[in-house]
Structure 1
Amino acid sequence: MTRIEARFAKLRAEGRKAFVTFVMAGDPDAGTFEAILAGLPAAGADVIEIGMPFTDPMADGPAIQLAGQRALAAGQTMSRTLAMVRKFREGDAETPIVLMGYYNPIYSRGVEKFLAEAVEAGVDGLIVVDLPPEEDDELCLPAQAAGIDFIRLATPTTDDRRLPKVLSNTSGFVYYVSITGITGSASANAEMVAPEVARIKAGTDLPVCVGFGIKTADSAREIAGVADGAVVGSAIVDRIGRGDAPEQVLGFVRELAAGAHG
C-alpha cells in the first residue's frame, strides 16, 4: 500500500475527509518554505502538494505564478526541491508528498533520472498538468512502474466520452478541477461540484478530491461534504506572498483543515 492509499484508508476508517495543501517549493525562500512544509502535517494537512517552479505555468493564476517567480529568483531548482522532500522525510515518514507542475523540468532532467531521485527522496505522487492520457508512455506509466502514483486532473469540460480515458491510468486519487480557467480565478460551488464528483466516482474506486476556488474554511467544509477531500493552494500561497510568517500561514492552514475535516 502506498502512502497515499494508506492515508485515504485511514481517513475513511476515521470517517473524515482529506485536506490537501499546495505550496510552491522554495517560496519565498528556502528557509521559510522548509519551516512551512515541516509544519503542515501538524496543522492538519493530510496530503501535501509541492509545486515545481517553472517559467511558463500556463494553468496557474497570478498567485501561483508569482510564487514560482519568487522561488526561481531565490535560486530554486529541481535538485533543491528533491532535497527539501528528502529533508522533510527525515521527520515524517507518513504524510504523502505529491509533486505538481509541468513536464518540461522533468523532461529536461531526464525521466529515468528524475523518477529514481524522486523515489529516493520520498515522493509519493505526481500531478503533471500538461501531459494528457495520450502521452502516458512519457511519464505516467514509468512513474507507476517506479512506485509513484500518477494523479490525473478531471475538469468541468471532461465529458462522458473523455472521462474513461482520463481515469484509465490514474492512481492515488483523482483531482477534480471545480472551475474552468486558471487557479485562484473563481470560487468553488458545492452544488455544481456534487454531481460531477458522483459522475467521476461512478467510473473509478479512487478518492476524488476537489481543488481550485476553495479559499475559506466554510468553502473547504462545503466541498469536502460532497467529495473525498478539498485542495487549497492559491489562498495559502497568497498568505506567503504577502509576507506572513510561517506560523501565521500555518494558523490559516489550521482553519482550513478544521473546515475540511468538519
Structure 2
Amino acid sequence: PYYFLLDLCASDILRSAICFPFVFTSVKNGSTWTYGTLTCKVIAFLGVLSCFHTAFMLFCVSVTRYLAIAHHRFYTKRLTFWTCLAVICMVWTLSVAMAFPPVLDVGTYSFIREEDQCTFQHRSFRANDSLGFMLLLALILLATQLVYLKLIFFVHDRRKMKPVQFVPAVSQNWTFHGPGATYLAGDPSNSNAAGRRRLLVLDEFKTEKRISRMFYIMTFFFLALWGPYLVACYWRVFARGPAVPGGYLTAAVWM
C-alpha cells in the first residue's frame, strides 16, 4: 500500500509545483489571466488530472484494503510490486482519459474569474459538457465510501465471532480420543508453533487495520475538502436562482 501512498504524494507535489504559482499570480494581478489560452488549458488539464487521479487511486486503495483484511491470503500472494505498478499505470491512464477531452473543447477549459484559476466552465445543464465529469467523480467518491463501509461491517462481524473453545480429550482405559486428543499426539511443540502462527496472523490483522484506518482518514479529508467545491459546481449547473455566494465559492476553491 505504500507504493500507492508515494504515488498520491507525487501527484500532489506535481500539482502544487505547477498549478499553484499560476493561481497566486492571477490573484496578484486582480483575477486576470495573462498567459494565453493554451497555457490555461494545460494548467486546467493538470489540475483535473490530479483530482481524478487521487479519486481513482483512493478507490483502488479501498479495494486493496478490503482484500487485505477480508481475503488476506489472496492479498499477500497476489499484490506484488508489479501488481501495484500495474494499478498505478491503470489509474494514470484513466485519469488522462478523463482530463484530456476538455483540451479538445469537449467540456471547455477556461479561466474562471470568480475562482482565479483555469478549470471547467460549468454552465446550465441544458448546455453543459462538464456534468458527466462531475457525476463520475461523485460516483467514484461514493463507491470508495461504500467499500470502506463494507470493510467496517466485516471487521464488526469478525469481532462478534465466538472464540475457539478447547475441547478436552476423552479417556477410556488411558486411550485418549476426541478433538482435544490432537494436542496429546506427537511433539507438544506443535501446539506452540500453532499458537505462534495464530499470534502472527493476529499481528498482521492489526497492522492491516491500522493501515486501512490511515487511508480512510485520507479519503475522508479528500471528500470533506472537495465536497464544498462539488456542491458549488452542481449549484452552477442546476440552480436557476442566484449565483453561488462569493465567500462560499472562495472558501471552497481554496479548500
Do they superpose with TM above 0.5?
no
Find the structure with the greater CA-based Rg: 2
| TM-score when normalising by structure 2 | 0.26
TM-score w.r.t. length of structure 1: 0.25
Structure with greater helix share of residues: 2
